[in-house]
Structure 1
Amino acid sequence: MRWAEVQEKFPDEWVVFEATEAHSEDGLHCVESLTIIDRYDDSIEAMHRYKEIHRKQPAKEIYFLHTSRSDLKIKEKWAGFKRWR
């Protein structure tokens, strides 16, 4: 499903979704296609569901966003790891 379809189908809602097609571009993660997992009126409920899924399946690309957002270009944030010898 594309973001425009999600916005049309679930206006003014919080959605928890999995990115099924995405790429990186200039420090942004651009989601092209997604699968809706759940939808909520409340951001806190959406965040709890996101955390629950992320704990169980950390390798999946899961997000939660409000459908009023114009696009799915998400700023990438990298966490570094220090290696001790």
Structure 2
Amino acid sequence: MRWEEVQEKFPEEWVVFEAVEAYSQDGFRCINSVNVIDCYEDSLDAMQRYKQLHRDQPRKEIYFLHTSRPDLKIEEKWVGFQRWR
């Protein structure tokens, strides 16, 4: 699902999602396609779900963001992204 579709389906929500199609460029993680796992009105609930998923499946590329965010270009340093091979 593209980010624009997520924004339409879950307006003004916090979404927890897995990056399906993504690449790194100039210190940013650019995400083209996602699978939405859950959505929340409260950021703390979304963060708890993110932490649980990250703990249970550390090799998956999981994020949580608010759908008001204009795009999915995320600074790698900010999210502590680590590429697994």
TM-score by length of 2: 0.90
| Structure 1 segments of 4+ aligned residues over 3 angstroms from their partners | none
Count of residues in correspondence between the two structures = 79
- What corresponds to 1:17 in structure 2? 17
Which protein is richer in helix relative to its size?
A: 2
Unpaired runs of 5+ residues, structure 2, are: none
- What corresponds to 1:55 in structure 2? 55
Shift of 1:15: 0.1
Shift of 1:5: 0.2
State percent identity of aligned pairs. Answer: 68
Deviations 1:36-81 (A, max 9, x none): 00000000000000000000000000000000000000001268xx
- What corresponds to 1:83 in structure 2? none
Unpaired runs of 5+ residues, structure 1, are: 80-85
**Amino acid of the residue matched to residue 36 of structure 1?**
V
CA distance in 1, matches of 2:8, 2:25: 26
**Amino acid of the residue matched to residue 19 of structure 2?**
A
Secondary structure at the residue paired with 1:69? coil
Name the Cα RMSD after superposition. 1.1
TM-score by length of 1: 0.90
CA distance in 2, matches of 1:54, 1:64: 11
**Amino acid of the residue matched to residue 26 of structure 2?**
D
